[in-house]
Amino acid sequence: RTDFILSAEIMAIALGTVATKPIWEQAAVLIAVALGITVFVYGLVAGIVRMDDVGGWLMRRSSSVARTMGRCLIAFTPWLMRGLSIVGTAAMFLVGGSLLVHGITPVEHWIQQVIAPMGGVAAALGPLLVHVVVGAAIGSAVVLCVALWHRLCRPAGVAH
């Protein structure tokens, strides 16, 4: 689900950049972005998934440096996975919140009128924080609604 949501957010941003272009150009850009996302993301994921295999392979080498690198890779992989899950969730909230805020005129105006004039770090990080909070709030509301829907609409006698 996360992959789909993040891909949809990226496609929405890409479409927004070419919204005034002819339909053939919009289609070409969306196809290029979709292919790029697929190749890059799944290539990166394949590399991460194989990281512990590479570590195991290095640990079977005769070189003590290779074995040490292998142990380090295997020890680092769980930390990387946890970090990526946190960063990925934050990115999903940030991008989703950003898309939503740009569609909610009063919130966008509030950011421009209140946060932007503060300058400095507040002006740089304030909008990002608002986007993350909006994304997390609306995302949580959607998850709650889906959970309630499944609970209320489950046919009688179905265990799960």
Tens of pLDDT, residue by residue, the chain (160 residues): 666 777 787 888 888 889 899 999 999 999 999 999 888 888 888 888 899 899 999 999 999 999 999 999 999 999 999 998 899 888 889 988 988 888 888 888 888 888 888 888 988 898 999 999 999 999 999 999 999 999 888 766 666 5
Q: Is residue 136 part of a domain?
A: yes
Work out how many domains the chain is built from and give that number.
Answer: 1
Range of the domain at 40: 2-153
Q: Is residue 15 part of a domain?
A: yes
Q: Is residue 139 part of a domain?
A: yes
Give me the pLDDT at residue 75, please.
94
Give me the pLDDT at residue 7, please.
79
Q: Taking Cα atoms as reference points, which of 127, 146, 128 lies closest to residue 138?
A: 146
Q: Is residue 146 part of a domain?
A: yes
Q: Is residue 159 part of a domain?
A: no
Q: Per the confidence metrics, is the pTM higher than 0.75?
A: no
d(CA 135, CA 141): 10
Q: Is residue 133 part of a domain?
A: yes
